[in-house]
């Protein structure tokens, strides 16, 4: 690899690492049991924070919440009910995947952890169902198997707050708001698959949260109609404080067990982690397929530790949204993210906080640093400096796009990341074609 590629890498096919062979194959049954363990661990953690009665009462308050960004379910309900909600939704996603005979690939693992993460602040047992049902209805109309659209169904639950806001947030009679909320969820779910398939061309796969960008467009459409009808959604900021230690204990247990299981299945192949780190991460990058489940679990555990380290380094605290961000980074450790392509993005966000007006330890800044890693493929494909620049630009954009969808799209950073990637990638390609004219055809 040429020397200049360390900081400004040319994403040519010949420079990409070839899929590695010889790693230990983990059966689908074993992967299914491991994922069940993570879900059950989250579910049981609820009872270390609250009693069963408190969990049930908190879960009911969560279900009735409008759930607009940024609504921490640990505040709306309680810590235990937020964990229980997360564990239930993870179990549901795993069982739906299993029932439809879908392979537990990198994208599926990322979807399960993302659902579990956002179940701490925005997704619940009520508002995810109409979205998934809408995708199922689309599959029926198209006469396609639901398993072919399982990813839009799982990731598309980003629009859960749309259902909750209409049902509980506009002060309409429940006889009107309930069917209207469910109908809106069904329509949004039906729009997701065709639009997601189209919008991936907009950012060329350099925004890992492609459904987040799609959900942002759909949310913007709905919110525009609501505002035209005179319905307004006030900003929401409910975040738990001063419970970092107890939540860190859970996260440490999760990551330690993840690393231990990863070492067990990876055996000596963990020494080949550098192969995974050379992957750009551009959609679609299934690390389980290319490097094995054991090595992927190790990668996920490392990313979890880095994410926690960043939160503590900037002096912030752990809350529901922060755990959601950490879960999402962990999940995408199977699907596009690794140490070398996420750290430059985080660094870019960190620098932006000192240049501009935001407090680096504020909840918005911390979440931006975690979720901005949706742009990890830019750092993976083009190098460290473009990665830092991507994180820097993302920080300025993400703080201003939430108004467009009114907080009904939980993947706000995916929405922002789509614009940043669409802006940067053509410019980076043009610069490379000027500096290295012999490589003009690298992106063909």
Residue 31 lies in a domain: yes
Instruction: Tell me: pLDDT of 241 over 90.
Output: no
Instruction: Tell me: pLDDT of 15 over 60.
Output: no
Residue 107 lies in a domain: yes
pLDDT score of 290: 85
β-pair partners for 238: 71
pLDDT band at 437 (very low <50, low <70, confident <90, very high): low
Which pLDDT tens digit goes with each residue over 140-194?
999 999 999 999 999 999 999 999 999 999 989 999 999 999 999 999 999 999 9
What DSSP string runs through 313-325?
HTT----HHHHHH
Q: Which residue, among 201, 215, 48, has the nearest Cα to 131 in the 3D structure?
A: 215
pLDDT score of 108: 95
285, 106 in Cβ contact below 8 A? yes
- Comparing 406 with 114, the larger pLDDT belongs to 114
pLDDT score of 270: 61
In eight-state DSSP terms, residue 284 is S
What DSSP string runs through 337-362?
--HHHHHHHHHHHHHHHHHSS--TTS
Please state the rounded mean pLDDT for residues 282-291: 86
pLDDT score of 268: 65
Instruction: Tell me: pLDDT of 242 over 90.
Output: no
155, 211 in Cβ contact below 8 A? yes
pLDDT band at 357 (very low <50, low <70, confident <90, very high): confident
Report residue 194 as tokens: 């065709």
Provide the domain limits for residue 172: 22-338
- Interatomic CA distance for residues 60 and 327, integer angstroms: 23
Instruction: Tell me: pLDDT of 1 over 50.
Output: no
Please state the rounded mean pLDDT for residues 364-369: 95
The average confidence (pLDDT) of the chain is 89
Helices 244-266 and 293-313: angle between axes, nearest 10 degrees = 150
| Neighbour tally for 217: CB within 10 Å | 18
pLDDT band at 305 (very low <50, low <70, confident <90, very high): very high
pLDDT band at 404 (very low <50, low <70, confident <90, very high): confident
pLDDT score of 2: 36
Please state the rounded mean pLDDT for residues 13-31: 67
Please state the rounded mean pLDDT for residues 90-101: 96
Say what the pTM is: 0.92
Please state the rounded mean pLDDT for residues 78-104: 96
pLDDT band at 443 (very low <50, low <70, confident <90, very high): very low
52, 80 in Cβ contact below 8 A? no
Among the ranges given (207-216, 237-246, 371-380), the one the predictor scored with the smallest mean pLDDT = 237-246
- Interatomic CA distance for residues 131 and 332, integer angstroms: 22
pLDDT score of 22: 55
Residue 275 lies in a domain: yes
pLDDT score of 187: 97
Please state the rounded mean pLDDT for residues 402-424: 92
Residue 392 lies in a domain: no
pLDDT score of 81: 97
pLDDT score of 20: 58
Instruction: Tell me: pLDDT of 433 over 80.
Output: no
Residue 369 lies in a domain: no
Residue 171 lies in a domain: yes
pLDDT score of 419: 94
Ranked by mean pLDDT, the top range of 3-12, 53-62, 356-365 is 53-62
Residue 438 lies in a domain: no
Q: How many domains does the chain have?
A: 1
- Interatomic CA distance for residues 347 and 389, integer angstroms: 9
Instruction: Tell me: pLDDT of 257 over 50.
Output: yes
pLDDT score of 269: 62
Residue 165 lies in a domain: yes
């Amino acid at each position: 690899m040429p020397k200049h590629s360390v900081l400004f890498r040319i994403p040519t096919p010949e420079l990409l690492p070839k899929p590695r062979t010889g790693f230990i194959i983990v059966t689908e049954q074993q992967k299914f049991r491991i994922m069940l363990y993570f879900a059950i661990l989250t579910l049981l953690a609820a009872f270390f924070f609250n009693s069963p009665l408190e969990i049930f009462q908190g879960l009911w308050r969560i279900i009735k919440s409008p759930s607009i960004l940024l609504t921490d379910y640990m505040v709306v309900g309680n810590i235990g009910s937020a964990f229980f909600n997360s564990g239930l939704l993870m179990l549901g996603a795993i069982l739906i995947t299993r029932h439809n005979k879908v392979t537990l690939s990198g994208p599926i693992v990322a979807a399960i952890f993302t659902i579990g993460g956002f179940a701490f602040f925005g997704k619940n047992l009520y508002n995810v169902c109409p979205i998934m049902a809408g995708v199922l209805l689309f599959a029926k109309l198209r006469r396609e198997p639901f398993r072919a659209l399982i990813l839009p169904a799982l990731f598309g639950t980003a629009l859960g707050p749309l259902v909750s806001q209409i049902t509980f947030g506009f002060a309409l009679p429940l006889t009107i708001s309930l069917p209207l909320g469910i109908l809106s969820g069904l329509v949004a779910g039906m729009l997701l698959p065709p639009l997601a398939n189209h919008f991936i061309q907009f950012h060329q796969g350099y925004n890992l949260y492609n459904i987040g960008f799609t959900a942002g467009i759909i949310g913007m459409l709905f919110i525009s109609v609501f505002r035209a009808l005179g319905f307004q959604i006030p900003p929401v900021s409910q975040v738990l404080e001063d419970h970092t230690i107890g939540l860190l204990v859970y996260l440490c247990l999760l990551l330690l067990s993840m690393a231990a299981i990863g070492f067990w299945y990876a055996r000596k192949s963990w020494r080949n982690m550098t192969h995974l780190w050379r992957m750009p991460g551009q959609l679609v990058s299934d690390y389980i397929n290319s490097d094995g489940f054991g090595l992927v679990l190790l990668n996920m555990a490392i990313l979890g530790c880095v994410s926690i380290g960043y939160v503590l380094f900037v002096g912030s605290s752990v809350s529901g949204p922060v755990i959601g961000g950490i879960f999402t980074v962990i999940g995408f450790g199977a699907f596009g993210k690794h140490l070398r392509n996420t750290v430059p993005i985080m660094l870019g966000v960190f620098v932006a906080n000192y240049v501009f007006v935001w407090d680096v330890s504020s909840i918005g800044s911390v979440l931006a640093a975690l979720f901005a890693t949706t742009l990890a493929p830019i750092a993976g494909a083009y190098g460290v400096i473009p990665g830092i620049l991507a994180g820097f630009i993302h920080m300025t954009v993400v703080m201003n796009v939430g108004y467009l969808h009114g907080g009904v799209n939980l993947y706000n950073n995916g929405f922002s990341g789509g614009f940043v990637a669409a802006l940067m990638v053509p410019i980076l390609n043009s610069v490379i074609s000027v500096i290295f004219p012999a490589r003009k055809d690298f992106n063909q």
